[in-house]
């Protein structure tokens, strides 16, 4: 469980670093969404387990496609609707809603790579609820949400257990949201409830008005005092991680810059290329060993951040002359027309990586 938590947090850290270079739905899928589900234990390169563009006919419309379906015994178990990182999710709920009712899937996930909304049919069987029972945010990770997310790992997945706890999760989320709203703006009813327990005088309108800011202040102080020690420890850890990230970023910048030459800009396609290569390499080695280094002429995929351990080089800056060069005996170079074609060389890449173990 600890290893899983660390991998999710590592993914969140990478997203924080890459998000300004991710602008399209396709980039979001390859750079974030596929690595996310791979971290959950699914083989994202096996279409019998993780099916891209799953066909879900909707009424008279035929050939409607869901971005991904996680399959079990030939049937869709989870439908996944993906949007670009820059998009809000609320306006897309109805699209997943339509897909859900035409398949045997028990869960639907709506995501823009950062936020993952989990839906099921608690209110009416075979009809997706209008509100999610669980929401996971990669840029706002809480220990409790990691515990719930872990239930969706392939190794832990149990439809009945998740469905039985979905109702609790749904209302726990609503209760926490209510607490958050009361913390920011205590209602008159809530203020009266407090006054009935702490104030013996008449609860006039002026008294209620005077107590509202005092209740808000007391509420916040109480919470702050409860979590103060834990919060301080977390802040120290975060500070250390940020310093480490900055040191790595500074080193990378120094490596990539040449005096008197323009600064190298890592493109969205190169980020996609790294994400795909990293997914492939993580099948044969710890993903923490996989790095990239951008050069003026090509984009390097490295092991252990060691230039002598390059696995492949990507040339993606030319519209009509894209290529991948493998670090095999012949240093073979292949032309490609799009970034996704890197997957054609999956086995070659894994063989090269094996030599650096």
Residue 110 has pLDDT above 90, yes or no: yes
Residue 286 has pLDDT above 60, yes or no: yes
Banded pLDDT at 99 (limits 50, 70, 90)? confident
SS3 call for 321: coil
| Residues 3 and 127: beta-carbon distance below 8 Å | no
As a whole number, mean pLDDT of residues 16-20 equals 88
Banded pLDDT at 2 (limits 50, 70, 90)? low
Residue 94 has pLDDT above 80, yes or no: no
293 Cβ neighbours under 8 A, 6+ residues apart: 252, 255, 256, 299, 300, 302, 305, 307
Residue 168 has pLDDT above 80, yes or no: no
The predicted pLDDT at position 57 comes to 63
More confident residue, 170 or 58: 170
Q: Architecture of domain 2-176 in CATH?
A: Alpha-Beta Complex (3.90)
Percentage of residues in the chain with pLDDT exceeding 70?
85
More confident residue, 1 or 39: 39
As a whole number, mean pLDDT of residues 110-136 equals 88
Q: Characterise 74 by phi-psi region: left (phi > 0), alpha (psi -120 to 50), beta (else).
A: left
Neighbours of 113 (CB within 10 A): 25
Residues 212-256: pLDDT tens digits?
888 878 877 777 676 665 545 544 544 554 554 444 444 444 444
Residue 58 has pLDDT above 60, yes or no: no
Banded pLDDT at 91 (limits 50, 70, 90)? low
The predicted pLDDT at position 161 comes to 77
The predicted pLDDT at position 127 comes to 84
**Alpha-carbon torsion 287, 290, 291, 292, what sign?**
negative
128 Cβ neighbours under 8 A, 6+ residues apart: 96, 97, 100, 101, 108, 119, 120, 121
As a whole number, mean pLDDT of residues 167-186 equals 77
Q: What mean pLDDT is reported for the chain?
A: 82
* 274 closest CA partner among 248, 255, 294, 244: 294
Q: Return the domain boundaries, the chain.
A: 2-176, 190-243, 268-354
- Residue 214 CA to residue 77 CA, distance in Å, equals 50
Least confident of 8-12, 119-123, 259-263, 339-343: 259-263
More confident residue, 247 or 327: 327
As a whole number, mean pLDDT of residues 107-135 equals 88
- Residue 87 CA to residue 108 CA, distance in Å, equals 18
Per the listing, tokens 């639907």 go with 108
The predicted pLDDT at position 205 comes to 82
Least confident of 43-47, 270-274, 318-322: 318-322
The predicted pLDDT at position 249 comes to 46
* 326 closest CA partner among 354, 352, 308, 293: 352
Q: Side by side, which strands form the sheet with 306-315? A: 290-294, 299-303, 306-315, 322-326, 333-336
Neighbours of 135 (CB within 10 A): 17
More confident residue, 34 or 206: 34
The predicted pLDDT at position 238 comes to 47
As a whole number, mean pLDDT of residues 156-175 equals 76
């Amino acid at each position: 469980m600890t290893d899983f938590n660390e991998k999710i947090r590592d993914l969140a850290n990478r997203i924080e670093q890459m998000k300004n270079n991710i602008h399209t739905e396709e980039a979001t899928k390859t750079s974030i969404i596929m690595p996310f589900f791979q971290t959950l234990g699914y083989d994202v390169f096996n279409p019998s387990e993780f099916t891209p563009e799953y066909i879900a006919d909707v009424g008279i419309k035929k050939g409607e496609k869901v971005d991904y379906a996680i399959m079990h015994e030939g049937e869709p178990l989870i439908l996944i609707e993906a949007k670009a990182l820059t998009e809000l999710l609320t306006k897309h709920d109805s699209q997943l809603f339509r897909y859900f009712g035409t398949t045997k899937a028990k869960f639907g996930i709506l995501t823009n790579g950062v936020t993952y909304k989990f839906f099921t049919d608690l209110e009416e069987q075979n009809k997706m609820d209008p509100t999610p029972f669980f929401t996971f945010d990669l840029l706002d990770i809480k220990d409790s949400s990691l515990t719930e997310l872990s239930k969706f790992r392939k190794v832990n997945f149990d439809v009945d257990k998740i469905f039985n706890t979905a109702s609790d999760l749904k209302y726990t989320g609503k209760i926490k949201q209510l607490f958050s709203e009361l913390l920011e703006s205590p209602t008159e009813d809530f203020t009266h409830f407090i006054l009935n327990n702490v104030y013996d005088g008449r609860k006039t309108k002026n008294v209620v008005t005077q107590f509202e800011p005092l209740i808000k202040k007391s509420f916040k102080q109480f919470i702050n005092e409860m979590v103060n020690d834990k919060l301080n420890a977390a802040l120290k850890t975060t500070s250390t991680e940020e310093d480490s990230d900055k040191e790595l970023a500074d080193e990378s910048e120094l490596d990539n810059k040449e005096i008197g030459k323009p600064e190298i800009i890592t493109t969205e396609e190169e980020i996609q290329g790294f994400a795909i290569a990293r997914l492939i390499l993580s099948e044969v080695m710890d993903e923490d060993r996989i790095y990239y280094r951008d050069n003026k002429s090509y984009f390097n995929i490295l092991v252990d951040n060691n230039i002598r351990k390059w696995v492949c080089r990507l040339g993606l800056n030319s519209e009509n002359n894209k290529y991948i060069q493998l670090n095999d005996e012949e240093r073979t170079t292949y032309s490609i027309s799009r970034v996704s074609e890197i997957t054609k060389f999956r086995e070659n890449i894994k063989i090269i990586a094996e030599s650096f173990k």
